[in-house]
Structure 1
Amino acid sequence: MSLEVAQLSRRFGDAQALRDVSLAVRGGEFVALLGPSGSGKTTLLRVLAGLDFADAGTVRIDGRDMSAVPARERGIGFVFQSYALFRHMSVFENIAFGLRVRPRAQRPTRAEIARRVEALLGRMGIAELARRLPEQISGGQRQRVALARALAIEPRLLLLDEPFGALDAEVRKGLRRWLRALHAELGLTSLFVTHDQEEAMELADRVAVMQAGAVVQFDTPAAILDRPASAFVAGFLGHAARLPARLAADALHFDPLPLPPLPRAALRATPEAEGPAVAFVRSHEWRIRPAAAGEGNATLLHARRSGGQEQLEIDLAGQVIEAEAAPGLLQPGQPCRIEAVTARAYADKP
């Protein structure tokens, strides 16, 4: 199924939670809503599910306007951040709940409900947990139960709100891969909320970056990382150093930092007009070499090994720069010369 959101707005008192949000999601896509806390991600998900309403704009699923369609009739599966499992019900009954509460004319038979639940328990790899209560299973298992409950109604659209937020790092990684494989296997259309950029880049076909209730960029993970649409996106993604700069006719100057200017041809993004700018340089976009005393423009503060590289923290005129280099290139306290190989620059608006 396809999803189209057009000019969606939502206000809570003086707070504008959504600002003219527009998205077009193709059938079978896995889309991430990525942004800091308070950017409107969960509000958008709740409006799509019919758990909240918009002040303006439209939501269409497969071309049908959802404005007058109640949540229970939208055919949407929702997985909450807190799982929202019924504590007094077994795992089996939690999964069966959405089927048992359907109107009598649409409710499957008891045998069909049991068949669907048992099939989902097997698919989730938790068949042995059917009779346990939620408090008797782990966080990762609860997440699978919550997902199975959402899938039991055979949704056209699956919505997940911070699905891995309460889990530890190793469990998160395993469940991410499992969820992506399940999405492809079932042919779902899925949207998930996250503030974790690694999670979004690993899972999603496309990512909608949100800021202050608006979608500021919607593209593939590779395109967003390579060509951020704004200073906000560039700073939010990719662990980049944010540097003061000035764009001139020939080059980007890093005033007042003691860095060589970058020719325009070396820049990956530039503002339209010359003048004050803010530049972003990622850790792998630095060139570093040792320097003799008095000849460097920076000093190594700290180094730690990560894979085949060293992650460096470098003091550049009082600003700490994170960079990558070959192991053993520098020792803590050693002077060095550092320069940017490329950068992304945006107008520094007042």
Structure 2
Amino acid sequence: MSLELRGLSRRFGAAQALHDIALRVAGGEFVALLGPSGSGKTTLLRILAGLDFPDEGEVRIDGQDMAQVPARQRRIGFVFQHYALFRHMTVFENVAFGLRVRPRASRPPEAEIAARVRRLLERMQIAELERRLPEQISGGQRQRVALARALAIEPRLLLLDEPFGALDAEVRKGLRHWLRALHGELGLTSLFVTHDQDEAMELADRVAILQAGRIVQFDTPARILDQPADAFVAGFLGQALRLEGVLEAGALHFRLPGLAPLPRASLLAAPAGDGPVAAFIRGHEWRVTPAAGPAVLRSCRPVGGRLQAVFALDGLVIEAELAAGTHEAAALRPGQACTLQPLAARAYPA
């Protein structure tokens, strides 16, 4: 199933929730929608599901314009963050609900409904829970029930709105691996809304970054991390530090005292001409020299074979990552004066 959005816009009074959204998703793709709160992610999902309607633009599924197709006829599965399960229904009845409310002409026989529900519960690894109520099972199990209910109607498009947002870190990590495997096994086309950057980068074939109702970049996770389209994307992803500077005389000159200029050749992204820029530096892109300089080490701790160090420099907090076991890492002590120098940066017009 393919999906195409053409010039999609949505307003709520004076607020513009979506601006001229254009997006093409190929059949079988897993696409993540990533952006800050209020960027339009959930509004976009609701329009796709037929729960809301655009002011301008088109939604096409397999080439068909969805404007006149009611939500119940779109064959779209929707999984919500807070499950939206019917509390008075058992797990079995929740999963069967979407099939039983179909018009009589398209409703499967009861025996087929029961067989389909039990197959799904087995696939979700919760077959033993079919007689329980939602309040009698865990959060992770409820999310599997919600997914089974969405899949029961055999959707051609699966929409997931922060489906793991209410779960603890360990449970959501396990579920997202399981979901990605299930997506491939069933040959689904899926759109996944999340605030979790690691989740988006790990799960998705491609990621759409939204800012203020616009898609500012749509690409593979690797290309988005390596080649951010603009200053917003560079600052939003990868926990990069933003520093103001000026490009001139073949180098980036920082406005922060204590940092030497960075040659243009060391910039991973930069405008063609000279002028003011916003530079973004990630934790592993710093060189740390102990026992000299204006930066002061506040704390450091080993994390996964790396040393995470936090420095104070002219009122700014700078986080740097060093390879554990190096001479520089071994020499670091809290309170120590150090010199910091960027090894690389991405610069965008200020």
TM-score interval, smaller chain: over 0.9
Structure 1 match to 2:66? 66
Q: Does 1:312 align with 2:309?
A: yes
Distance 2:90 2:256 in 1: 64
**Runs of 5+ consecutive residues of structure 2 not aligned to the other structure:** none
Structure 2 match to 1:251? 251
Structure 2 match to 1:77? 77
Structure 2 match to 1:47? 47
Structure 2 match to 1:342? 344
1:328 to 327, 330, 345: 330
Distance 2:273 2:48 in 1: 39
Work out whether residues 289 and 329 of structure 1, in 8 Å CA contact, stay in contact via their aligned partners in 2.
Answer: no
Shift of 1:150: 0.1
**Runs of 5+ consecutive residues of structure 1 not aligned to the other structure:** none
Letter in 2 for 1:77: G
Structure 1 match to 2:171? 171
Structure 2 match to 1:90? 90
Structure 2 match to 1:273? 273
Letter in 2 for 1:147: L
Distance 1:143 1:316 in 2: 45
Summarize deviations over 1:132-184 as a string: whole Å, max 9, x none.
00111110000000000000000000000001000000001000000000000
Letter in 2 for 1:52: D
Q: Which of 266-275 and 128-137 deviates more?
A: 266-275
Distance 2:263 2:152 in 1: 57
Work out whether residues 259 and 297 of structure 1, in 8 Å CA contact, stay in contact via their aligned partners in 2.
Answer: no
Q: List, as ranges, runs of 4+ consecutive aligned residues in structure 1 with deviation greater than 4 Å.
A: none
- For 2:208, what is the secondary structure of its paired residue? strand
Shift of 1:308: 1.1
Work out whether residues 228 and 234 of structure 1, in 8 Å CA contact, stay in contact via their aligned partners in 2.
Answer: yes
What do you get for the CA RMSD once the two structures are aligned? 0.9
Distance 2:210 2:312 in 1: 32
Shift of 1:260: 1.1
Distance 1:232 1:275 in 2: 18
Shift of 1:315: 1.2
Work out whether residues 32 and 208 of structure 2, in 8 Å CA contact, stay in contact via their aligned partners in 1.
Answer: yes
Q: Does 1:119 align with 2:85?
A: no
Shift of 1:347: 0.9
Distance 1:329 1:22 in 2: 52
Q: Structure 1 140/129 Cα, relative in aligned 2: closer, same or farther at 3 Å?
A: same
Shift of 1:328: 2.5
Name the % identity: 73
The two structures have a TM-score, normalised by structure 1, of 0.97
The two structures have a TM-score, normalised by structure 2, of 0.97
Shift of 1:271: 2.3
- For 1:296, what is the secondary structure of its paired residue? strand
Shift of 1:265: 1.0
Distance 2:300 2:156 in 1: 49
- For 1:166, what is the secondary structure of its paired residue? coil
Distance 1:331 1:133 in 2: 55
Distance 2:24 2:261 in 1: 41
Work out whether residues 266 and 345 of structure 2, in 8 Å CA contact, stay in contact via their aligned partners in 1.
Answer: yes
Q: Which of 153-162 and 302-311 deviates more?
A: 302-311
Shift of 1:297: 3.0
Q: Which of 203-212 and 257-266 deviates more?
A: 257-266
Letter in 2 for 1:323: A
Structure 1 match to 2:193? 193
Work out whether residues 251 and 264 of structure 1, in 8 Å CA contact, stay in contact via their aligned partners in 2.
Answer: yes
Distance 2:215 2:257 in 1: 33
Summarize deviations over 1:274-321 as a string: whole Å, max 9, x none.
211110000001111213xxx413111111110111111011222111
Pairs within 5 Å for 1:155-234: 155-234=155-234
Shift of 1:272: 3.7
Letter in 1 for 2:227: R
